Amino acid sequence: MANQFVYHFEKADASDKVKFGGKGANLAGMTQLGIPVPPGFTISTEACHQYYKDGASLSKAIFDETLTAVKVLEKKLGKEFGSSKNPLLVSVRSGAPASMPGMMDTILNLGLTDASVIGLAESSENPRFAYDSYRRFIQMYSDVVEGLSKHTFEKIIAAFKKELGIVSDLEFTAENFKTLAVKFKDFFKKEKGFDFPQDPVSQLKKSIEAVFASWNNERAIIYRRMNNIPSSWGTAVNVQSMVFGNFGNTSGTGVCFSRDPATGENVFYGEYLLNAQGEDVVAGVRTPEPISNLARDNKDAFDQLYTYAKNLEKHFKNVQDMEFTIEKGKLFMLQTRNGKRTGHAAVRIAVEMEKEGIISKNEALMQIEAKQLDELLHPVFDKGELKKAKKLAQGLGASPGAAVGKPAFSAEEAKERREKGEKVILVRLETSPDDLAGMSAAQGILTVLGGRTSHAAVGARGMGKCGVCGCGALIIDSTAKTVKIGDRTFGTQDIISIDGST
């Protein structure tokens, strides 16, 4: 069909990343290899070009084709989109031809409304899970489609926890999540002047348009400039049936690499959280468990995941960065892409994969980017001086190297102070894609939350910046612009050092 824009994973050309984006092409590839991927379809980059030609609007023809594809998903899964009995929920994700982790927008649990959440609670026999999914959807949709910052919702969550006298999201009951959804909708109406949308078809259309629009958001533009990605490419959109890691303690979600992206060592590397959805791992909201512990929690899922990781590495002839979800004990693969790695790791991986016969010498050389060779010359601490230094606290070495500077407590502050000639360390509870310019300006990145696959860690490695994550000993007061470590307090004119290698 000359003007076809929508392709199910089974039918898309897994070799055409320009048309289907990296994520869509790889989802098609995994599906066609027989790997368990939740069913879905890709709206091609050609639809993105058409969206911009049509004045940043999704044409009726493209959306009709999308709705026809949704009908196919309904038939496959025995669920109905927007149903008040057994609803089909989907994720809507970007997928550019080149990997741009976290730069564009994602919406999970789409299709939930006041009516369908009741159906989900009844069909799953798990009201806590249903209302947890609904409050997540309201927060993501409000942020991505309607421009209400997710941080404002985090403040509502924090205030509600304080009111209940609890610390962790895991302590929320079904009723608590129900109340939280009402609080979110009340906040939405107060800010926007209308009720939170209750039509799943409208939710879907606006979400697809928002993902296409995110191709030109500020952080995506900055990332493209930093990585020489042409703005003419556009992004594809992947619509995929949801699988749920927040179904209880037999469910979970995680990110893993076929080799260590920080050192290049040939070890299975990654992190996961039980009773969580994917954003919880990469956003650094909770500090996850190392992937090796999954063998303790679900040996079958761990063994399958390890096998898929090694097979996909051989198939793509490159280190793979994968996202997965376990729903009620069953493993699903949500994504694979070539993994971002440090310069040191890139050299080691290329040499070892050539020795293992996975790639040729020429392919090994082509895997190492020029900027990674530059990164090999980045500073490290003198071993003699390091022995004399006083260790204040320890986190996770997320991106190797050494960094020295004065603490900066926001991306804007880091950028402004760097422009005045100061060397700063960006010190945050966690980072998000909105912090990209500040991360780029800083000598290094230090966070309280998150693990080695969090946004801060992946971002630091991609930029060749030193990074330490999950340093729980830090107490940050962003209003006073201080960070307390043990009995010492550091302000914006004090100097701290971080070592991402150790």
Short-list 237, 260, 278, 324, CA closest to 47: 237
pLDDT at 83: 92
pLDDT of 1: 46
Using pLDDT thresholds of 50, 70 and 90, give the confidence band for residue 284: low
pLDDT-derived band at 100, boundaries 50, 70, 90: confident
> Given this model, what pLDDT does residue 387 score?
83
Task: Reply yes or no on whether the pLDDT at 54 is more than 50.
Answer: yes
Please check the confidence at residue 431 and state whether its pLDDT lies above 80. yes
Could you tell me which of 57, 93, 103 has the C-alpha nearest to residue 206?
Answer: 57
Q: What is the pLDDT of residue 112?
A: 97
Q: What is the DSSP letter of 99?
A: -
| Nearest alpha carbon to residue 114 among 130, 92, 103 | 130
> Strand, coil or helix: what is 398?
strand
In this prediction, residue 453 carries a pLDDT of 82
Minimum mean pLDDT range among 235-249, 270-284, 322-336: 270-284
pLDDT at 285: 63
pLDDT, position 222 = 85
Give CA–CA dist 372/355, Å, rounded. 21
Question: Among 316, 318, 455, which Cα is nearest to 27's?
Answer: 316
Reported as a single tens digit per residue, the pLDDT across 193-250 is 999 999 999 999 999 999 999 999 888 888 888 888 899 999 999 999 999 998 889 9
CA distance 486 to 393: 8
| pLDDT of amino acid 377 | 77
Q: How many other CB atoms are there within 10 angstroms of residue 166's CB atom?
A: 14
Tokens of 44: 């091609």
Q: Is 211 helix (H, G, I), strand (E, B) or coil?
A: helix
Task: Give 474's pLDDT tier (boundaries 50, 70, 90).
Answer: very high
Mean pLDDT of the chain: 93
Instruction: Report pLDDT for 265.
Output: 96
Does residue 177 surpass a pLDDT of 50? Answer: yes
pLDDT per residue over 386-411, tens digit each?
A: 888 889 999 988 888 899 999 999 99
> So what's the pLDDT on residue 146?
95
The proportion of the chain whose per-residue pLDDT surpasses 70, expressed as a percent, equals: 99
Position 228 scores a pLDDT of: 86
What tokens were used for 474?
């830090």
DSSP run (H or E) holding 107: strand 106-110
For residue 315, give Cα distances in angstroms to 238, 264, 310, 336, 380.
Answer: 22, 19, 9, 11, 35
Confirm if 436 and 256 have CB atoms less than 8 A apart. Answer: no
Residue pLDDT, tens place only, 432-443: 888 989 999 999
DSSP conformation letters of 23-74 = HHHHHHHHHHTT-----EEEE-HHHHHHHHHTTS---HHHHHHHHHHHHHHH
